[in-house]
Structure 1
Amino acid sequence: MSIINDLEWRGAIFQQTDAEGLETFVNENAIGLYCGIDPTGDSMHIGHLIPFMFLKRFQLAGHHPVVVIGGATGSIGDPSGRTSERSLQSMDVINENAEKLTQQMQRLFLQGEVDQAGFRIVNNYDWLSKISLLDFLRDYGKHFNVNTMLGKEVIASRLDSGISFTEFTYQILQSVDFHYLYRNMDVQLQIGGADQWGNITAGLDFIRRMEEHEVKAFGLTIPLMLKSDGTKFGKSADGAVWLDPEKTTPYEFYQFWLNQTDEDVIKFIKYFTFLSREEIEALEVEVNESPHLRKAQKTLAEEVTRFVHGQESLDEALLITDALFTGEVNQLSAKQIEEGFKNMPQFTAPKESAALAIWLVDIGLISSRRQAREFVSNGAISLNGEKVTDVDFEVSPELAIGDKYLIVRRGKKNYYLVTFE
């Protein structure tokens, strides 16, 4: 199966500028392709990940992906998908963000035994910053018809609310990027989200105007990712799911994928994993016949976490997950506790010893001593995975994991993290 056919089977292609021409070209050549991201933030989230999964698939198939970090376009602001102007950031912030995004891309694309010779990360500031104002107007602006630009959805959608000349010119800058990569880095294909269609087609028109020979250049967009209930994919109850482990821990990342519904999981496996068609179809049978085993969800969570964070982080996420399921939390390190209990109820306790029933009330975990004694006597309280039934059991800082944390469990599912001051 060709890579284009594989992407179509996965439901991952929304629009193509020349579907037949692209498939023929890809089947006969090792194609150069690119996708860009502006450093308006210091980390990608999983919504950003989708087009770069495309690049990775092409890379694994022997093609040559180029990642463009928008050090220049990020200073302008892409109007796509927005109803108002962006707040401009300083170049210091943009450069810092660009460095962090570059590191994330390196982790995604420079792994395994794949030949890396054809992979590049570039920053469009390197060429766009060299264009003077007069050169921009004479050599580039002259090739863009305002009426045509106004007809592009990315611009038309902003006319009622207003758009600055700065963001209006973004389409030109992205077109210059495509032409520069086409001429200097042998890139023939641009990939982007559905909201990038106008920018991509503008770039193709510009290439055709600038090149005298017959142009082999193509554009492809991915569909907007929606969940089965019609809501936009990519956020958890706590907000965006980031690729930066400092923003979203590998455990939280793993749990996000593990908690996908039966209705969505196969679609997400097609998008976000490199499993074969046969493997995915087998998992689809599992969902239909044994949904309670959640084999597809576990596979999805493991595959994506391994791809983004590596095997070591996946192993740690699995360890935390298993410890919380079995209650054997005393096997966790202080760092793993911080990761796994980040969003659970938390309390602080003084570094003093006290009887358990009194201690539970003093730190505010249980409201009354009578209730605390009942919970303890009935075997409902565990400390660091060990059930305690003695109301006078002495709780002391010496019990803390890493000299800091004590994990209290009430019943089977209610966990609380206590930090000794």
Structure 2
Amino acid sequence: MNIIDELKWRGAVNQTSDEEGLKKLTEEKSIGIYCGVDPTGDSLHIGHLIPFIMLKRFQMAGHRAHILIGGGTGSIGDPSGKKAERVLQSMEQVHHNEQRLTDQMEHLFGRDNITIVNNHEWLSQIDLLSFLRDYGKLFNVNTMLNKEVVASRLEVGISFTEFTYQILQSIDFYHLYKYNDVQLQIGGGDQWGNITAGIDMIHKIEGNNAKAFALTIPLMLKADGTKFGKTEGGAIWLDPEKTTPYEFYQFWLNQDDRDVVKYLKYFTFLDHEEIDGLAEKVKNEPEKREAQKRLAEEVTSFVHGKDAVEQAEHISRALFSGEVKDLNAEEIEQGFKNMPTVETSIVKENIIEWLVNTKIEKSKRQAREDVTNGAIYINGDRIRDLNFEVDPAKAFEGRFVIARRGKKRYFLAKVVD
């Protein structure tokens, strides 16, 4: 199947500038494709993954993938999706973010058949007069104003700096077309105006027969109409320090039956037959949640590796069964990150005193009642002895005590000096 037909089957194509021309070119030869990201933060989130997953598909189909880190454009700010001007970051912060994003891209894409570039290399070399004479003359202000990314900001205002962003992105496309043999730029739907501006620039400089194409992906919405990728806790990051692999795995595992097949098509590299089989299971045996489990396994493995999947599944089994003693300190830190947290000292303490001092129980009377009734667990063990001593040094490298009240009410007690 042609790569464009494959993307369409996966529901991943929103707009193309010349679909038939692009299909023909991809069948004739290995083409160059690029997708860019500005270093406005020090990590990608799963919203960024959507176009880069498409780039990965081209790479796997034998085409030449290029990732552009926008060290130049990121220093001024893309107006796309913003209702007001961005706050400019220091160049020191931009450079820090560049390196972090480059590391993430190398982890996701490897080093084979992939080129990572930074537009600061060429944009920083253009002086003001050259910018105005060589590039500014190619752009009509009326046309620029009609681009959705600019038009949406006219009511509240847009600076000249952000207004010129589409020119800079066009220079990027032209530079990669000329020096890296790149014919296709892919991006989110909000990038259509910027990408097509680049195609117009290439045609004005190189002639209308120059083969340059645009492909954008649809806006990802959940079945309930809300934006994909946001949770009550905020964005789901690819950086394991911001979103642990366990949290990442759980995010995918908890997807709605109405969305899971769409996400299998978008975010995994499973073939048609396997996805169709999982779709049947969603329809006929939704309670087994096999599609969600496969989704969580595949995406977590792609982003964090197979070991992270095994660890996430281990944490999930331990929390479900209550056998938390089987977890190590790192797994405790991941699995209990968003659970109620209290502090405790390293000193041994009577169970009743400990429960009250950590505020897990409101009173000694309630604590004694819960212990006597077998409702209290410490590090996975049920405690019925009113004279039991909690020893924080005994488990999890002396860093944590795990308390459970009832069937599912967990508390993480962090040991402090």
Fold equivalence (TM over 0.5): yes
Tell me what 2:261 maps to: 266
Question: Of 144, 156, 160, which residue of structure 2 is paired with 1:149?
Answer: 144
How far has the Cα of 1:412 moved from its partner? 1.9
| Amino acid paired to 1:70 | G
- Please state whether the residue corresponding to 1:220 is helix, strand or coil: strand
- Structure 2 CA distance for aligned equivalents of residues 179 and 48 of structure 1: 23
> What displacement does 1:397 show?
2.7
The 5 Å alignment of 1:77-226 reads 77-110=77-110, 116=112, 118-212=113-207, 214-226=209-221
Aligned 1:259-338 pairs, distance under 5 A: 259-338=254-333
Contact 2:346 2:398 in 1 (8 A): no
Q: Which amino acid aligns with 2:298?
A: E
Opposite residue 193 of structure 2, the aligned amino acid is G
Structure 1 residue 326 displacement after superposition: 1.3
Query: Do the aligned partners of 2:249 and 2:300 also contact (CA within 8 Å) in 1?
Result: yes
Percentage of matched positions with identical amino acids:
61
The CA distance in 2 between the partners of 1:27 and 1:100, in whole Å, is: 35
| Structure 1: runs of 5 or more not aligned | none
- Give 1:391's match in structure 2, choosing from 381, 386, 392: 386
* Equivalence for 1:66: 66
Output the amino acid matched with 1:98.
E
Q: CA deviation at 1:204?
A: 0.3
CA distance in 2, matches of 1:60, 1:33: 12
CA distance in 2, matches of 1:419, 1:143: 61
**Deviating 4+ runs (over 4 angstroms):** none
> Residue 398 of structure 2 aligns to a residue in which SS?
coil
Deviation, 1:26, is: 1.0
Matching residue within 233, 237, 243 for 1:238: 233
> Counterpart of 1:162 in structure 2: which amino acid?
G
Residue 53 of structure 1: how far off its partner (Å)? 0.2
Write the distance in 2 (CA, Å) between the matches of 1:192 and 1:300: 23
Counterparts of 1:92 and 1:354, CA distance in 2: 49
Rounded to whole Å, the distance in 1 between the matches of 2:379 and 2:127 is 64
State how far apart, in whole Å, the 1-side matches of 2:233 and 2:135 are. 44
Letter in structure 2 aligned against 1:310 = G
Amino acid corresponding to residue 331 of structure 2 in structure 1: Q
Q: In structure 2, the residue corresponding to 1:47 is in which secondary structure? A: helix
Query: How many angstroms apart in 1 are the aligned matches of 2:285 and 2:371?
Result: 38
CA deviation after TM superposition for structure 1 residue 213, in Å: 6.5
Question: If the length of structure 1 is used for normalisation, what is the TM-score?
Answer: 0.97
Query: Are 1:41 and 2:41 matched, yes or no?
Result: yes
Deviations 1:25-72 (A, max 9, x none): 112211110000000100000001100000100011100110000000
Q: Does the CA contact (< 8 Å) of 2:393 and 2:399 recur in 1?
A: no
- The 2-side partners of 1:412 and 1:295 are apart by 25
- What secondary structure sits across from 1:402 in the alignment? helix
C-alpha separation in 1, matches of 2:394 and 2:376: 15
The aligned residue for residue 11 of structure 2 is: 11
- Write out per-residue CA displacement over residues 233-289 of structure 1, whole angstroms, 9 at most, x where no aligned residue: 011221000000110010111111111111111111111000001110100111111
Q: TM-score, normalised by structure 2?
A: 0.98
The secondary structure found in structure 2 opposite 1:321 is helix
SS in structure 2 of the partner of residue 188 of structure 1: strand
Give the Cα separation in 2 of the matches to 1:264 and 1:213: 41
What does residue 411 of structure 1 align with? 406
2-structure distance, mates of 1:155, 1:232: 22
Q: Does structure 1 conserve the Cα–Cα contact (< 8 Å) formed by 2:46 and 2:236?
A: yes
C-alpha deviation, 1:325, in angstroms:
1.1
Structure 2, unaligned stretches of length 5 or more?
none
Q: Cα deviations across residues 113-163 of structure 1 (Å, max 9, x unaligned)?
A: xxx1x3100000111111110100000000001011111111111111100
Partner of 1:341: 336
The amino acid of 2:5's aligned partner reads N
1:187-212 Cα deviation digits (max 9, x unpaired): 00000100000001100000000103
